[in-house]
Amino acid sequence: MSHESKPINEDLFRDKLIELLHAKMVRETPQFMERDAHPKQHGLVKATFTVAKDLPQNLQHGVFVPGKRYDAWVRFSNQNAPIQSDRKKDIRGAAIKLMNVPGEKLDANNGNTTSQDFITISTPMFVTHDVEEFFYLIKALVSGKLALLRHFLFHPRSLLNLLRSNKNYASPLQTRYWSTTPYQLGPQQIVKYSLIPHAGVVTHLPVDAGPDFLRQTMVKQLAEKDYDFDFCVQLQTDPQRMPVEDPGRRWSEQMSPFIKVATLTIPHQAFDNPAQNAYGINLSFNPWHSLAAHHPLGGINRARRVVYQTLSTFRHQHNHQTQTEPTNYDIPALETSIGAQPEKEK
C-alpha cells in the first residue's frame, strides 16, 4: 500500500544530480569538504527519545515500542551552502540518530547496523515535485540569477514553496521541524513526521543577533535547562490529497492532525567544544539508516538513498576520515584535525 509510482527517468536525473552536487562541493569547499546541504552546524547535542507508554496499537511499529527509551544524537543546522549568516532567512535542520536500535536496517552497506535516523527540516513541504525538477532547480541555482528566474517562471510553485520555507528563527530549540517526505509505518500505514518544541516557536530575531547567534543562543539555553520536543506522526488518510510522490504538496493537518508518539529530550548540557563539533561534522545522516517498518517512500527519498551515500563517501574520502555509526556518547579521535577547527561563517 505504498502508492509509489516511479518515473522512468528518475534514476537518470538522480545520477545527473549527483554529478552536479559533486562539482558544487569541490568548487565551494576544495580543501576540507563540507556537506552539499546543511553544512553550517549549530550544534551536535546528546538527547533521549522516549516512546509514549499509551501508544495506540496501530502506531506500535519499528522503534515505536511503548515506553522504550533510546539514546540519541541530534544535529542542528542551516541548509544553505555555502555557509552564510544566521541572520539570513534559510531552512533549518534537525537530524536525529537513535543509537542501539535492534533489527536489520535497510541500508547497512557503510557499516550502519545500529542506527535509526530521522531527517527533519523547518518546512512542511519540499521545494520541488520530484527528482527531475529538483535537478533543474539546483542546475539553475549554480548557473546564476537569470537561469534561476527562468526556472521559476516555468515552476512557480517551486518559487512559492521556497519563499514560504526560508524563514528566521530565534533558536533551533524553538523551531518546528517536519520530514516533508513520507514513510511507511508498519505494513499498512503511511506517515509524515514532525518535531514540535515544548518551548514554542519563536521567529523574531534578537536585537543583538550576530552571524552565529543560533549556536550562541542554544549554548545559553542548554546551559540553563532541558528542552523537549514532541515527536509526532501524521497518518495519510487520503492518497489523492496526501500524495506520496509529491512532497512539495503539504498534507492538511485539518484532514489528519499530528499524533504524538515520543518525546525527544535534549538535556541541560555543554556541547560547544572542538571535539564534539568535529564529530558532528563527520557524522552522516540518511533516512535509509532505518528499520523496514519506517521504509522511506517517494521519489525524493528513493534518490536520497544513493545521493546521500555517494556524496557522504566522497566527502569522507576527500577529508581522509572514516564514516562511523555511534553506539554511545563517546567521541572518537578523527583521522584529521581539519574538521576539529571552528567553522568559518560567512
Report yes or no on 120 lying in a domain: yes
Q: Indicate whether 343 belongs to any domain.
A: no
Residues (pLDDT < 50) of the chain are: 336-346
Full domain range(s) for residue 237 = 10-186+224-256+270-320
Instruction: Name the amino acid, one letter, at 277.
Output: N
Q: Indicate whether 109 belongs to any domain.
A: yes
Cα-Cα-Cα-Cα dihedral sign, residues 89, 227, 294, 124: negative
Is residue 288 included in any domain, yes or no? yes
Whichever domain contains 57, its CATH number is 2.40.180.10
pLDDT tens for residues 200-211? 999 989 888 899
In a domain, 235, yes or no: yes
Q: Is 337 exposed, middle or buried (0-12, 13-18, 19+ CB in 10 A)?
A: exposed
Quote the pLDDT of residue 340.
39
Residue 345 lies inside a defined structural domain of this protein: no
Number of domains in the chain: 1
* Residue 26: per-residue pLDDT: 86
Q: Which of 165, 176, 223 is nearest to 199 (CA)?
A: 176
Residue 209 lies in a domain: no
How far lies 258's CA from each of 136, 147, 196, 198, 231, in Å? 32, 38, 10, 15, 9
On whether residue 331 sits in a domain, the answer given is no
At position 159, the amino acid (one-letter code) is L
Provide DSSP, 101-140: --S-BS--TTS-SS-EEEEEES-SS-SSSSHHHHHHHHHH
The pLDDT assigned to 149 comes to 94
pLDDT given for residue 302 in this prediction = 96
Structure confidence at residue 334 (pLDDT) = 63
Res 29: pLDDT: 77
Instruction: Encode 234-262 in three state secondary structure.
Output: EECCCCCCCCCCCCCCCCCCCCCCCEEEE
Copy the grid coordinates of residue 64.
Answer: 515505536
Consecutive H or E run containing 63: none
- Give the pLDDT score at 322: 84
CB 294 within 8 A of CB 185: yes
Number of Cβ within 10 Å of residue 131's Cβ equals 25
